[in-house]
């Protein structure tokens, strides 16, 4: 029941905002900001109730929807889900807090963000394809409208492209799962992974589509590719990323925070929780392609970021680069699980990297938002200079996030990258070696950003800007804490996921 | 005393790096006006660290047994677990780390004290001490770490502290650029280190150096590493050692990753003394010394040691050549640091850990002394750094002159009383007897001659002759808070000589775990006599030539250097440090910018159209399914869409509700598929 409440709570908030016409614009934002952290309370309660150790299922809720077709609305929370739910609430909270600071948004805006929060919670907990996919697609509508209605000049076009392309990915994924339902009669993730473990997916597909003349393995490959396409568009993986820079740049900054902090994580989550457990039979044949694409993503993200002059575009490409490491680790695990420890490192690294990237992105886009507030909308790399002189606290916090982003030990980014590289090197060494170039270039464009924005002589035009106010500091605080604490004490996050990691590896084990 | 302390050491040891780190963390939250408090906090924390480090040092003086050096390993702590693998970290105390930790804490303490005087008028006085504390804590962690991962993390943190301190005057574009350059150049090396570390971890399953026989540097793992062959016919141990060496090259400014170090002189002078001369830049050398068992598999002629010897030799000669032609007092010392680090690499490659570490520690004392004396000169000359505009300072700053002269003579290798003489002698001894050839030896000898030459040149131009600065000019002696540290370091530069002579090679035997014995006859062996003679010739040549050229240099500050006429084009080339910066600009930075532009263009010209193609395909698909079922269905998607349309009201009207249309169309398409499915499966 706790879980159902958690899923519906943001929706209730959205409904409340929708039916309360007298609510002022800014009080609506404040209400939504407070509301967005309520799920955390439920999450804490769930943690408290849960007595078992080593992760495991903390809460579940299920409703038979179409029992004849084996369709159940099944949701459950385990350690990995828990981290993603935590991230969802934090990013939503920060996004709404920044909206208040930027003075944008109204009742509809807040309601849409809360709807999105609810749907994201659904994505991160659903255990059956139908509820998962419904939530997955339903995040699109608020996202589209938020970009479209509150974005910049080019927003309509960017929003439309974002919408259509990701929807296309969704359709491809749906077709893939329908084929599975048709052949084995279920779309439940756990059931599918069990079938896969007994090689019944290939057999089932082969029987159901015998008329096509293809073998079961080939058919399963097609299905896996179709599912992968849907995930790849969302993360995004090269060459399906071209919607991203425009969408990120044109969206209002709080929405960009949501896009990069949460929507991209849906794809990573899907790779880990859906793609890997269900398709172990065809993973080795797909892995080389996925590895190549992941390396391309890492490199392209880093190199393209070097050429950008818009802060949001720099961070957009930086996101492409950082999530590329997640894809790389998944690809490595897909290629082989010969080395169990390396596999565990790669899988743990994916979750840590996804979580940390979300938190770091919050701070970075928060910083862009602050600059926009102070400058009245400017956010070019060359529009500032010397800000550390008059905004030392702001420069310090941004510096911390930027250094965490480039993987400085002691801050959150490092452990994730260490685990990913350890895992990938143990499984597919060459790709780790090549991806190091990405790691190096990240430092180049992030340090250049520090130099151009914060260092150098203070420009007279910006010399009067004030440092962060007290309320702004408080908005930064949770994310900063979540950059420092897991950096020094990674176990804080890893203890949630170690059990899940081992279970996932067990599923992959029969397919060396 | 040592016995009483022993049981508490594993716990106490953690405080050595932790206290300065803690002080740095606290200072980060102190406002600027509490700068005095910050400096006291930093010095207090470091003082306690230093006391513990010295006590730990004393504990290591007695070897466990003959030939087995003292080694104390703290119980490994589990930092985190992934899956069911626990990653452990810990600290180790052995002669290597004890000597280094004691040196770092001791030298740093005096540099902290000096900084109170030097940075007195700085507005961000407290911040400066915060960064210094962060640096010291991280550096001590590098030294004491018993885990390659912990070492790497601390290594990156000293890099961060170096970045912050080079860019301390961040308003200056040159300082900001130098800081960025330092971070990125060393990061090139760090990436190699990183992958080398991961490789070692992957092969051995541990990152602990010593762990009761299962550690990375213990025989079991080493022999397994040596047994696997990988790319290019190298063993894994050689390949990983080479990667670690690249990391060391970045930090320790070896050619071609040295270009950041001279630029790092943009930082305040105490920083140059502490970080970019005495301690951090030596971390690369320390890394090789720490992981020496991996490097040394296969003896002194192993691939990684040969590489270290040659790279070190080339670096030593290159930097000594360039130092001859520099005019900035700090840049001369910076190139001299690069050159001396090259010597240490030669020592590692040809002579072993003890030789390199002795030079490292001796160098830390006399180079810190030289930098602080140079700082005193700069301070006294009102921030003038060009040696052509100095001259005749001996009279105005007698105390600084004496300390500077001691540092200079130690660096130049004046015979017998100075530590630098004996440490250099040991290096040359090792290089001469190296079985791999005479290359590194000849490079080192030429570099040693040049060292004596350029140091004499600098001393003569600064302290002798007549004042050459145009206009009014009142140099003054520095306050005693800056002079006392100079005396202490000067004493160190001399006294260290006692423990490193061939007659009583205490340091070397202590590192090896042997009881130090006195054998004065070692000095009389023909081998040793030959080398001492050679060293004398080296110093006489270098100093004599320089004396002849620079003793009576012209009184005008813009007169060309006496050497410039003799060397003509080559002099220009040396002035520009042999054009490495321009070379990198042409071969790396330029092409990278071009490549980034090309990728950006590709994004716009290829990927975006590709995406547009996909978009129109999806649209057509949507329209097709939409048309075919326009009137047939009325399901949840439709009501959803109308709800959506209502909410989006005004603004979306300008788009004629297009995406809603697509959504509906695609929704219809999906419905068709669903129906198809139920029909098929019924």
- Is the C-alpha dihedral spanning B241, B244, B249, B251 positive or negative? negative
Nearest by Cα to B349 from B216, B440, B454, B213: B440
pLDDT of residue A295: 95
- The pLDDT of B638-660, averaged and rounded, is 47
pLDDT of residue B680: 56
Task: Give me the residues paired with residue B68 across strands.
Answer: B65
pLDDT of residue B524: 75
| Mutate which: B82, B192, B206, vs A, most A CBs within 10 A | B82
The verdict on A418 touching B (C-beta cutoff 8 Å) is yes
Taking CA–CA distances from B205, the nearest residue in chain A reads A341
| CA–CA dist B355, A286 (Å, integer) | 54
Distances (CA, A) of B143 to B96, B102, B148, B305: 8, 10, 11, 21
β-strand pairing of B72-73 with B85-89: unpaired
pLDDT of residue B604: 87
pLDDT of residue A75: 93
Tens-digit pLDDT profile for residues B36-70 = 899 999 999 999 999 999 999 988 887 777 777 88
| CA–CA dist B539, B543 (Å, integer) | 6
A341 vs B612: CB contact, 8 Å cut-off?
Answer: no
Count other Cβ atoms within 10 Å, centred on residue B662. 23
Tens-digit pLDDT profile for residues B75-124 = 889 999 998 889 999 999 988 999 999 999 999 999 999 998 888 888 88
Distances (CA, A) of A92 to A261, A402, A475, B51, B590: 9, 21, 12, 50, 41
pLDDT of residue B455: 92
- Residue B252 pLDDT more than 70? yes
B83 vs A174: CB contact, 8 Å cut-off?
Answer: no
Q: How many CB pairs under 8 A join A and B?
A: 206
pTM for this entry: 0.92
Classify each residue of A139-169 as buried b or exposed e, where b means 16 or more C-beta atoms within 10 Å of its C-beta: bbbbbbbbbbbbbeeebbebbbbbbbbbbbb
Confirm whether A107 is domain-assigned. no
On chain B, the residues whose CB falls within 8 A of the CB of A304 are 596, 599-600, 603
Tens-digit pLDDT profile for residues A198-245 = 888 888 888 888 888 788 889 999 999 999 999 999 999 988 888 899
- Residue B410 pLDDT more than 80? yes
What are the CB-based long-range contacts (under 8 Å, 24+) for B639-644?
A: B640/A141, B640/B667, B641/B667, B644/A141, B644/A145
Nearest by Cα to B305 from B442, B437, B154: B437
Burial (CB < 10 A; 0-12, 13-18, 19+), residue B613, is exposed
On chain A, the residues whose CB falls within 8 A of the CB of B652 are 145, 148-149
Tens-digit pLDDT profile for residues B539-582 = 889 999 988 888 877 667 777 787 877 777 888 888 888 888 88
At B657, the pLDDT band (50, 70, 90 cuts) reads very low
Confirm whether A331 is domain-assigned. yes
Task: Give me the residues paired with residue B145 across strands.
Answer: B91
- What are the φ/ψ torsions at residue B49 (nearest 5 degrees)? -55, -45
- Residue B472 pLDDT more than 70? no
Please check whether residue B489 is in contact with residue B362, taking contact to mean a CB–CB distance below 8 angstroms: no
Q: What is the mean pLDDT of chain B?
A: 85
| Tokens read off for B41 | 């906090």
**DSSP-derived 3-state class of residue B151:** helix
Of A329-333, B142-146, B435-439, the least confident: B435-439
pLDDT of residue B610: 84
- Residue A317 pLDDT more than 80? yes
- Residue B643 pLDDT more than 70? no
- Residue B277 pLDDT more than 50? yes
Nearest to B82 among A344, A414, A439 (CB): A344
The verdict on A109 touching B (C-beta cutoff 8 Å) is no
Confirm whether A142 is domain-assigned. no
Tens-digit pLDDT profile for residues A146-160 = 999 998 888 998 998
Tens-digit pLDDT profile for residues A391-429 = 999 999 999 999 999 999 999 999 999 999 999 998 888
pLDDT of residue B471: 53
Nearest to B80 among A339, A448, A494 (CB): A494
**DSSP-derived 3-state class of residue B87:** strand
Confirm whether A465 is domain-assigned. yes
Of A39-48, A92-101, B190-199, B334-343, the least confident: A39-48
What DSSP character marks residue A54? S
Tens-digit pLDDT profile for residues B589-609 = 888 999 989 988 988 888 888
Please check whether residue B286 is in contact with residue B346, taking contact to mean a CB–CB distance below 8 angstroms: no
Please check whether residue B339 is in contact with residue B443, taking contact to mean a CB–CB distance below 8 angstroms: no
Nearest to A174 among B170, B670, B680 (CB): B670
The verdict on A270 touching B (C-beta cutoff 8 Å) is no
Greatest C-alpha distance within chain B: 109
| Tokens read off for B650 | 């005004």
Domain range enclosing A292: 282-512
| CA–CA dist A486, A359 (Å, integer) | 11
Helices (H) and strands (E) in chain B, counts: 30, 4
Q: Which residues contact B608 (CB under 8 A, 6 or more apart)?
A: A242
Nearest to B599 among A303, A443, A454 (CB): A303
Interface of B with A in 362-381 (CB under 8 A): none
> Would you list the DSSP string of B234-245?
-BHHHHHHHHHH
Among the residues of A124-209, which ranges form H helices?
Answer: 129-138, 140-150, 155-184, 189-197, 200-208
Minimal C-alpha gap between A188 and chain B (Å): 17
Minimal C-alpha gap between A146 and chain B (Å): 10
Interface of B with A in 191-250 (CB under 8 A): 191, 194-195, 198-199, 201-202, 205
Please check whether residue A427 is in contact with residue A342, taking contact to mean a CB–CB distance below 8 angstroms: yes
On chain B, the residues whose CB falls within 8 A of the CB of A163 are 659, 662-663
At A52, the pLDDT band (50, 70, 90 cuts) reads low
pLDDT of residue B1: 58
Residues A420, A421, A424: CA angle, nearest 5 degrees? 85
Classify each residue of B213-234 as buried b or exposed e, where b means 16 or more C-beta atoms within 10 Å of its C-beta: eebbbbeebbeebbeeeeeeeb
Into how many domains does chain A fold?
1
| Mutate which: A80, A112, A171, vs B, most B CBs within 10 A | A171
β-strand pairing of B92-93 with B72-73: antiparallel
Helices (H) and strands (E) in chain A, counts: 24, 2
Nearest by Cα to B205 from B231, B224, B229: B224
Minimal C-alpha gap between B172 and chain A (Å): 5
Nearest by Cα to B339 from B404, B281, B416, B263: B281
Count other Cβ atoms within 10 Å, centred on residue A341. 18
Per cent of chain B over pLDDT 90 is 42
Minimal C-alpha gap between B566 and chain A (Å): 40
On chain B, the residues whose CB falls within 8 A of the CB of A424 are none
The verdict on A511 touching B (C-beta cutoff 8 Å) is no
- Residue B470 pLDDT more than 70? no
pLDDT of residue B682: 47
- Residue A472 pLDDT more than 50? yes
Confirm whether A34 is domain-assigned. no
| CA–CA dist A427, A336 (Å, integer) | 6
Confirm whether A360 is domain-assigned. yes
Tens-digit pLDDT profile for residues A333-360 = 998 877 888 999 999 999 999 999 999 9
Q: Which residues contact A233 (CB under 8 A, 6 or more apart)?
A: A165, A166, A168, A169, A240, A243, A267
Confirm whether A212 is domain-assigned. no
| Tokens read off for A436 | 């190091």
Q: What is the mean pLDDT of chain A?
A: 90
pLDDT of residue B501: 79
Greatest C-alpha distance within chain A: 74
- Residue B642 pLDDT more than 60? no
Confirm whether A449 is domain-assigned. yes
């Amino acid at each position: 029941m706790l879980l159902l409440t958690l899923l519906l709570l943001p929706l209730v908030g959205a409904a409340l905002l929708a039916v309360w016409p007298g609510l002022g614009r800014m009080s609506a934002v404040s209400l939504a900001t407070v509301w967005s952290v309520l799920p955390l309370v439920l999450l804490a309660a769930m943690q408290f109730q849960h007595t078992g150790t080593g992760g495991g299922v903390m809460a579940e809720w299920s409703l038979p929807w179409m029992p004849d077709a084996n369709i159940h609305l099944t949701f459950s929370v385990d350690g990995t889900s828990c981290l993603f739910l935590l991230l969802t609430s934090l990013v939503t909270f920060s996004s709404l807090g920044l909206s208040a600071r930027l003075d944008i948004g109204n009742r509809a805006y807040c309601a849409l963000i809360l709807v999105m929060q609810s749907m994201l919670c659904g994505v991160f907990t659903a255990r059956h394809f139908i509820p998962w996919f419904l939530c997955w697609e339903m995040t699109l509508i608020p996202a589209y409208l938020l970009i479209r209605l509150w974005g910049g000049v080019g927003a309509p076009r960017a929003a439309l492209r974002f919408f259509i392309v990701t929807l296309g990915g969704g359709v491809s994924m749906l077709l893939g799962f329908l084929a599975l339902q048709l052949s084995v009669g279920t779309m439940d993730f756990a059931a599918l992974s069990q079938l896969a473990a007994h090689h019944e997916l290939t057999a089932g597909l082969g029987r159901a589509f015998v008329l096509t003349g293809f073998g079961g393995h080939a058919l399963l490959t097609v299905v896996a590719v179709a599912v992968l396409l849907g995930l790849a568009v969302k993360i995004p993986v090269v060459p399906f990323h071209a919607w991203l820079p425009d969408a990120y740049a044109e969206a209002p900054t709080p929405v960009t925070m949501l896009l990069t902090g949460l929507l991209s994580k849906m794809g990573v989550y899907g790779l880990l929780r859906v793609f890997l457990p269900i398709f172990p039979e065809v993973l080795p044949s797909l892995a080389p392609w996925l590895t190549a694409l992941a390396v391309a993503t890492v490199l392209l993200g880093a190199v393209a970021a070097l050429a950008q002059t818009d802060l949001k575009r720099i961070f957009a490409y930086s996101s492409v680069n950082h999530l590329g490491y997640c894809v790389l680790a998944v690809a490595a695990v897909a290629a082989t699980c010969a080395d169990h420890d390396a596999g565990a490192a790669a899988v743990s690294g994916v979750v840590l990297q996804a979580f940390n990237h979300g938190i770091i992105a919050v701070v970075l886009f928060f910083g862009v938002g602050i600059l926009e507030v102070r400058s009245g909308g400017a956010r070019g790399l060359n529009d500032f200079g010397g800000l550390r002189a008059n905004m030392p606290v702001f420069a310090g916090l941004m510096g911390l996030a930027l250094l965490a982003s480039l993987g400085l030990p002691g801050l959150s980014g490092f452990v994730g990258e260490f685990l990913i590289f350890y895992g990938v090197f143990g499984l597919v060494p060459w790709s780790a070696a090549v991806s190091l170039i990405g790691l190096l270039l990240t430092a180049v464009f992030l340090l250049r950003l520090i130099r151009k924005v914060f260092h150098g002589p203070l420009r007279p035009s910006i010399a009067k800007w004030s440092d962060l106010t007290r309320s702004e500091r408080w908005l930064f605080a949770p994310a900063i804490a979540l950059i420092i604490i897991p950096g020094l004490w990674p176990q804080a996050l890893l203890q949630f996921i170690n059990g899940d990691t081992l279970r996932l590896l067990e599923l992959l084990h029969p397919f060396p | 005393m040592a016995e009483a302390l022993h049981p508490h050491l594993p716990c106490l040891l953690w405080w050595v790096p932790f206290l300065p780190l803690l002080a740095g963390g606290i200072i980060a939250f102190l406002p600027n006006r509490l700068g005095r408090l910050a400096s006291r906090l930093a010095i207090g924390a470091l003082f306690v660290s230093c006391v513990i480090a010295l006590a730990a040092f004393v504990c290591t003086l007695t070897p466990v047994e003959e030939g087995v050096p003292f080694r104390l390993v703290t119980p490994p702590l589990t930092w985190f677990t992934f899956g069911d693998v626990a990653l452990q970290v810990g600290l180790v105390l052995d002669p290597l780390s004890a000597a280094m930790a004691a040196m770092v804490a001791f030298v740093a303490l005096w540099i902290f004290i000096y900084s109170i005087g030097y940075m007195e008028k700085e507005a961000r006085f407290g911040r400066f001490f915060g960064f210094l504390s962060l640096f010291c804590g991280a550096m001590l962690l590098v030294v004491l770490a018993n885990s390659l991962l912990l070492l790497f993390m601390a290594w990156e943190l000293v890099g961060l502290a170096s970045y912050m301190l080079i860019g301390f005057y961040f308003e200056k574009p040159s300082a900001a650029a130098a800081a960025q350059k330092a971070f990125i150049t060393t990061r090139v090396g760090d990436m190699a280190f990183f992958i080398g570390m991961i490789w070692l971890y992957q092969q051995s399953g541990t990152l602990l150096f010593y762990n009761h026989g299962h550690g990375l540097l213990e025989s079991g793992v080493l022999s397994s590493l040596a047994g696997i062959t990988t790319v290019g016919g190298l063993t894994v141990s050689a390949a990983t050692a080479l990667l670690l060496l690249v990391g060391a090259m970045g930090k320790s400014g070896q050619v071609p990753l040295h270009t950041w170090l001279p630029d790092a002189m943009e930082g305040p002078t105490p920083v140059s003394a502490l970080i970019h001369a005495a301690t951090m830049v030596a971390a690369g050398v320390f890394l090789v010394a720490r992981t020496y068992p991996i490097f040394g598999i296969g003896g002194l002629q192993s691939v990684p040691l040969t590489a270290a010897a040659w790279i070190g030799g080339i670096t030593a000669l290159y930097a000594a050549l360039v130092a001859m032609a520099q005019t900035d007092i700090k840049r001369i010392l910076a190139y001299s640091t690069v050159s001396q680090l090259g010597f240490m690499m030669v020592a590692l490659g040809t002579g072993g850990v003890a030789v390199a570490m002795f030079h490292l520690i001796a160098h830390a004392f006399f180079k810190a002394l030289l930098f602080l004396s140079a700082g005193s000169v700069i301070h006294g000359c009102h921030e003038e750094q060009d040696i052509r505009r100095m001259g005749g300072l001996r009279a105005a700053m007698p105390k600084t002159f004496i300390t500077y002269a001691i540092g200079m003579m130690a660096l130049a290798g004046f015979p017998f009383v100075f530590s630098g003489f004996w440490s250099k002698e040991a290096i040359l001894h090792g290089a001469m007897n190296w079985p791999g050839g005479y290359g590194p030896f000849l490079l080192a000898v030429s570099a040693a001659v040049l060292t004596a030459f350029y140091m004499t040149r600098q001393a003569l131009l600064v302290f002798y002759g007549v004042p050459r600065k145009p206009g009014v000019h009142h140099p003054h002696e520095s306050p005693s808070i800056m002079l006392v540290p100079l005396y202490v370091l000067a004493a160190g530069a001399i006294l260290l000589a006692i423990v490193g002579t061939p007659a009583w090679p205490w340091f070397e035997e202590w590192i090896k775990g042997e009881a130090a014995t006195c054998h004065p006859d070692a000095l009389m062996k023909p081998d040793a006599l030959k080398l001492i003679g050679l060293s004398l010739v080296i110093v006489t040549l270098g100093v004599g030539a320089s004396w002849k050229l620079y003793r009576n240099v012209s009184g005008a500050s813009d007169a060309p250097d006496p050497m410039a006429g003799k060397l003509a084009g080559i002099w220009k080339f040396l002035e520009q440090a042999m054009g490495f910066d321009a070379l990198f600009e042409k071969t790396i930075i330029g092409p990278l910018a071009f490549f980034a532009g090309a990728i950006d263009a590709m994004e716009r010209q290829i990927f975006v159209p590709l995406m547009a193609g996909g978009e129109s395909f999806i649209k057509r698909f949507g329209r097709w399914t939409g048309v075919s079922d326009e009137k047939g269905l009325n399901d949840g998607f439709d009501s959803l869409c109308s709800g959506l349309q209502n909410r989006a009201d005004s603004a979306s009207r300008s788009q004629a509700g297009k995406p809603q249309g697509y959504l509906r169309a695609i929704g219809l398409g999906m419905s068709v598929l669903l129906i198809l499915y139920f029909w098929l499966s019924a």
